[in-house]
Chains A and B, each alone.
Chain A
Amino acid sequence: MDVAHFFAFAHDTWLGQIARDSSYVYTIGLVVHFTGLALLMGAMLVIDLTLLGLAPTIPPGAALKLLPVAIIGFVLNLLTGITFFCFDPERFGLNPAFQVKMLLVLAAGLNALWFTFAEHREVARSAAGAPLPLKVKISASLSLLLWFGVIVAGRMIVAFQ
């Protein structure tokens, strides 16, 4: 399936149709998208700042208990984001800021997956304030940079229309 067919397919989905049928769907979707942003970023800020050693009284294992909050925020934003995309696939798919945003989400996701499989178990057992390996700190820094980059790229979509 080439890109044009994919755009047509997304446009004609049930999700695309209900988004275009009522302007409330898009408006409410945006409210949910920003609520998801707050959940995801709040959890990631506390987790990543802890991993960076900036909250030395939080046990890393306790901070990582916030991951479900981040995942709920991410899933809310994935679902509402797919709805926006289906509303007008070409408007988003051909927009350079949207393309950059998707690449940043992918990079942030891969960084999170690497941490989950390679480091989570070990880090969760560390004591509060104990020094963590450099690779963990690099991953935490990347996480913050990439997620904030996602926000900026998302807000720049309107500038490239």
Chain B
Amino acid sequence: MDLFAWLQNLPLSEWVQTSDYGFPLLLAAHSIGLAGVVGVLIILNLRVLGYAEGIPIAALRRLMPVAWLGFIVNALSGVLLFMANASRLVTNWAFLLKMSAVLAGGIVTWVLWRALNEPSDFTHPKRGGAPTSAALAAYGVTRAARITAGISMAVWFAAILFGRVIAYVMDHAILHGGG
């Protein structure tokens, strides 16, 4: 039996499809997770790109659990949303592009933190003393980090874009006898 058809016919998947509130509530959870993961990462990217330089980058690192929480909420709600329409989603180009964008987003965020691995809000160990606010803002943010942050913004916005298009590709397939 086809794996995706089997997934879609599980009792849990059928509950998501047929209950009045299952699907909207999962989408609500997915949107809350979006706010957590993409929201916090947008602020991180803007900060690396030079906006709101009074916010220490190390402080944003300590807010990464909020982004992770959002990611976990979206992974769980996303699995359930996928199960409910598994056999149609595996051939949905918008879904496949969204998954690619999320994967790319994860990799790019990991690369960004590697590029930012020096704390930006502490005294420079070699010079000693308190850094000037300009040095504080610039320290640790390399050109590579700024480029990575720009790519990260584009990738996460692409994830939102393709995520929104999934339903339209599915409806189009239904209207035209495919899917």
- The chain A residue with its CB closest to the CB of B52 is A65
Contact A46 B24 (CB under 8 A): no
Is A93 part of the binding interface, using a Cβ–Cβ cutoff of 8 Å? no
- Partner of A55 from the list B34, B62, B121 (CB cut-off 8 Å) is B62
Is A125 part of the binding interface, using a Cβ–Cβ cutoff of 8 Å? no
Contact A152 B28 (CB under 8 A): yes
| Residues from 15 to 32 in B contacting A, C-beta threshold 8 Å | 20-21, 23-25, 27-28, 31-32
Is A136 part of the binding interface, using a Cβ–Cβ cutoff of 8 Å? no
Given A34-B164, A46-B63, A159-B21: A61 touches B54 (CB 8 Å cut-off) = yes
Given A45-B40, A57-B56, A63-B55: A155 touches B27 (CB 8 Å cut-off) = yes
- The chain A residue with its CB closest to the CB of B56 is A57
Give the distance in Å from the alpha carbon of A45 to the alpha carbon of B59 in the complex. Answer: 13
Give the distance in Å from the alpha carbon of A43 to the alpha carbon of B44 in the complex. Answer: 10
| Residues from 28 to 75 in B contacting A, C-beta threshold 8 Å | 28, 31-32, 34-36, 38-43, 46, 51-56, 58-60, 62-63, 66
Interface size on A, residues (CB 8 A): 33
**B56 neighbours in A (Cβ, 8 Å):** 57-58
**B163 neighbours in A (Cβ, 8 Å):** 34
Is A42 part of the binding interface, using a Cβ–Cβ cutoff of 8 Å? yes
| Residues from 57 to 74 in A contacting B, C-beta threshold 8 Å | 57-59, 61-63, 65-66, 69
Give the distance in Å from the alpha carbon of A21 to the alpha carbon of B35 in the complex. Answer: 31
Please report whether the interface of chain A is mostly helix, strand, loop or mixed according to DSSP: helix
Contact A62 B35 (CB under 8 A): no
Is A108 part of the binding interface, using a Cβ–Cβ cutoff of 8 Å? no
| Residues from 130 to 161 in A contacting B, C-beta threshold 8 Å | 148, 151-152, 154-156, 158-159
Report B43 CB to chain A, min CB distance, Å: 5
- Partner of B28 from the list A41, A57, A65, A155 (CB cut-off 8 Å) is A155
Give the distance in Å from the alpha carbon of A38 to the alpha carbon of B153 in the complex. Answer: 11
Give the distance in Å from the alpha carbon of A79 to the alpha carbon of B58 in the complex. Answer: 35
| Residues from 37 to 92 in A contacting B, C-beta threshold 8 Å | 37-39, 41-46, 49, 55, 57-59, 61-63, 65-66, 69
Seen from chain B, the residues whose Cβ lies within 8 Å of a Cβ on chain A are: 20-21, 23-25, 27-28, 31-32, 34-36, 38-43, 46, 51-56, 58-60, 62-63, 66, 121, 156-157, 160-161, 163-165, 168
